[in-house]
Amino acid sequence: MTVTDTQVAWLTQEAYDRLKHELDELVANRKVMAAEINARREEGDLKENGGYHAAREEQGQQEARIRQLQELLRSAKVGVAPTTDGIAAPGMVLTVRYEGDDDTENFLLANREEGAHGDLEVYSPNSPLGECLLGAKNGETREYTLPNGSLQKVTMIKAVPYHD
């Protein structure tokens, strides 16, 4: 899923600031990257110049990340992390149990960038599971459609605010 596939990216102020800082650094690094490419170009035959091609590839990756961050920050909704336990909302760590399974699963309901530095799996609020669980209360069972078309019941055991 790309950033443009989502409606709104929910971010805490801290996550927004971290991503904005990364974007600013990447934009500031454009001149350095251009100078690196020019220096590599001066080395001679471009067909056999691995340093030149590596620098061009790195530039392409940086430009893609810049576009991704710009789109993400443009569509971001910045807010305070939820503080109410027991109701599924973006920014909450959910513990769920799927029908037919005795084990529970913990995950962060948020944009992937929000939980990019944590150990938790992250599910988007716009995913089928995320949409199904939004607003669910502790102990509530809901149902959502799997990619194969079958229905899956899931019970929310608990929801607590996410902390980095």
Place of tokens 């650094």: 25
DSSP state of 23: H
More confident residue, 95 or 163: 95
DSSP state of 4: G
Q: Which helix (H) or strand (E) holds 63?
A: helix 50-75
pLDDT band at 164 (very low <50, low <70, confident <90, very high): low
Mean pLDDT within 83-95: 82
pLDDT band at 94 (very low <50, low <70, confident <90, very high): very high
The pLDDT score that the predictor gives to residue 28 is 93
pLDDT tens-digit readout, 67-88: 988 988 887 777 655 556 788 9
Decide: pTM greater than 0.75: no
pLDDT tens-digit readout, 20-52: 999 999 999 999 888 888 888 887 776 777 788
- pLDDT for residue 106 is more than 90: yes
The pLDDT score that the predictor gives to residue 22 is 93
Mean pLDDT within 135-156: 94
Q: Where are the beta strands (DSSP E) in 52-136?
A: 76-79, 92-98, 104-109, 121-123
The pLDDT score that the predictor gives to residue 4 is 38
Cα-Cα-Cα-Cα torsion 82, 88, 93, 96, nearest 10 degrees, comes to 170
Give Rg (Cα) of the chain.
Answer: 21
